[in-house]
Structure 1
């Protein structure tokens, strides 16, 4: 949901709204968060802490609409907050509740219970399910990409130009990353990449495998240079000129003479195989680079809410940190715009701090 209001805009809006406008805006938003329904001027005038006629309320609501804070849905004469209005309410007017001691104890027991001798995944999954249950939204946990030691790697095409890279660590952790594929990359290249790399990755990180492939590539290029110089000097082959759109290629000549020289044939066959291997390794290095830079990450959704069938959604998230206070991931809640912000914000914050302590 695009709720972008700068601090300067928030200050300016607060300054421009008089007490009457602020009260009317606050009641419209709080009614929306509670019921999801638009509020008309007649009903609104009854809810205000001051006496105002429906006509005066209508005028103020029109001003708030012009400011971009409210809008009028087609089906009703009432008003609802816009995304900008919700952002403004959260930044400027929201009174954050605090968790009760009972809620704190319950959250702590669940997160700590998940951590008893279990994997990082178990702790994070529990945290997301907990937030989901408490908030009416979907609990979500994103963890930063790690440089784990790999056991298995798989490339799975999910769209013509996108693939999912599945990385399985030696510790059983699983990461998924989305990559953009090079144009025209055939499906077979992904299958071959998975097969070839699985013979190489065990006990190494992605970066380690890439360095090793680049070393092999450099060795092969050196061998190709040596062999092609030999066959060109022997008059058995020649390099064509590179032209626009076509690189220079090795042209074999004097086939009849080659038949008398087994050694020359072996050299040429070796050159051919090295060229093929070179191309494969360059593709692999490109795929590994894409996988390393791909958008991270494990995502755990704790409920099946039909979040995006609604007109918009909100994300409330807080970072969690490792023992060196580096941000290593995010816990939070994704839900409809009418989440109970006052309740969800402290929940997310407390859960993030708990998870940080467990990883600290």
Structure 2
């Protein structure tokens, strides 16, 4: 842990520390006192710069890799930089228009919008784009029973984002073929445009109260369908990841390759990624996780920049972001993630300002 905070550093130390971090973000290489002396505005000799670098190292903000005379920021140093010194840029009108056009796309389903948003962020950041969506918030467009044999039927559900899922349900003995059509019509009329969670309790209570104009066998079929489509397990999430191959670019050494392999393993173990992104859902804006600040990426030394997006009711229903090495271009990627999340929210019908005016 550092023995000092940036608020306790004088102007000279802050300027040198900032140059070390910015050099690292640009090149991934340690920077030495001679280069720092040429870059800073305050006239200092390399010897004086070395003294300041030694103080920064003692504070836990930088370190010397191997026997190099140069310094790199520690994860703690990166966190201080992001919180206190980072100057976040703004997107140009052209960049905003490009994001709007690429994410929306004419006739694109919500699933397509989310996948394209992940692909877009991957391309812009040269990292991995990630989107986390709650399955249970999917709204239903169509539901139908299709007979397979006298004992089984296929329940087909089509969501308004274009996703199609199937479940096999067992048929009550003696069920007439017409009951499949009747049950399909009954459910479709009551569930269209609603989430399963919204519709399930209402339909189930109506059946229990005997208000449905269905015979007993058909009611049993409807109940079996509702049980199959209960909305998924509590907290169930779908994870979309795009652009893992970007992480293989600009590898500096075998150590980097091992870290990327570790990151790939982390991304494959989606549960951990989902748990991490769930933490971003409690934030109003962009959240940044650096290196071992989260257990998931403690070995690969990766960073995550993520922001929540909302549905038409203004509820947070997912997270969109970027995962990459700790030397991500934070100043550029933070506004990209923030803006893309706002675009996705608007396309989902959330009540919020047009992001082009933000």
**Under a length normalisation based on structure 1, what TM-score does the superposition of the two structures give?**
0.59
Q: 2:158 aligns with which of 170, 192, 197?
A: 170
SS at match of 2:233: helix
Q: Match for residue 8 of structure 2? A: 16
Displacement of 1:118 after TM fit?
Answer: 2.3
Cα distance between partner residues in 2 of 1:83 and 1:146: 36
Q: Write out the 4+ residue segments of structure 1 that deviate beyond 3 Å after TM superposition.
A: 147-152, 194-199, 202-209
Q: Match for residue 70 of structure 2? A: 78
Q: 1:142 aligns with which of 129, 132, 146?
A: 132
For the pair 1:62 / 2:54, whether they are aligned, the reply is yes
Q: Match for residue 41 of structure 1? A: 33
Q: 1:305 aligns with which of 216, 237, 246?
A: 246
Q: Deviations over 1:75-123 (max 9, x none)?
A: 522110111111111111111111111111111111121xx32221100
The structure whose RCO (Cα within 8 Å, separation 6+) is larger is 1
Cα distance between partner residues in 1 of 2:236 and 2:73: 33
Q: 1:131–1:332: 8 Å Cα contact kept in structure 2?
A: yes
For the pair 1:348 / 2:337, whether they are aligned, the reply is yes
Q: 1:119 to 1:78 in 2, by over 3 A?
A: same
Q: Match for residue 269 of structure 2? A: none
Q: Which has the larger radius of gyration?
A: 1
Q: 2:132–2:238: 8 Å Cα contact kept in structure 1?
A: yes
Cα distance between partner residues in 2 of 1:168 and 1:37: 54
Q: 1:151 to 1:40 in 2, by over 3 A?
A: farther
Q: Match for residue 121 of structure 2? A: 131
Cα distance between partner residues in 2 of 1:305 and 1:151: 39
Q: 2:80 aligns with which of 60, 70, 88?
A: 88
Q: Report the count of equivalent residues.
A: 246
| Equivalent runs, 1:1-360 vs 2, <5 Å | 13-113=5-105, 116-146=106-136, 148=138, 169-171=157-159, 172-173=162-163, 205=196, 292-293=233-234, 295-306=236-247, 308-309=259-260, 311-360=300-349
**Under a length normalisation based on structure 2, what TM-score does the superposition of the two structures give?**
0.59
Q: Deviations over 1:46-71 (max 9, x none)?
A: 21111212222112111111211111
SS at match of 1:300: strand
Which blocks of at least 5 consecutive residues in structure 2 are unaligned? 145-154, 173-183, 205-226, 249-258, 264-299, 350-358
Displacement of 1:342 after TM fit?
Answer: 1.0
Q: 1:296 to 1:75 in 2, by over 3 A?
A: farther
Q: 1:312–1:337: 8 Å Cα contact kept in structure 2?
A: yes
Query: Over aligned residues, Cα RMSD in angstroms?
Result: 3.8
Cα distance between partner residues in 1 of 2:164 and 2:334: 29
Which blocks of at least 5 consecutive residues in structure 1 are unaligned? 153-166, 176-193, 213-284
Cα distance between partner residues in 1 of 2:312 and 2:111: 18
Q: 1:138–1:305: 8 Å Cα contact kept in structure 2?
A: yes
Q: Deviations over 1:185-217 (max 9, x none)?
A: xxxxxxxxx866899xx97959969x99xxxxx
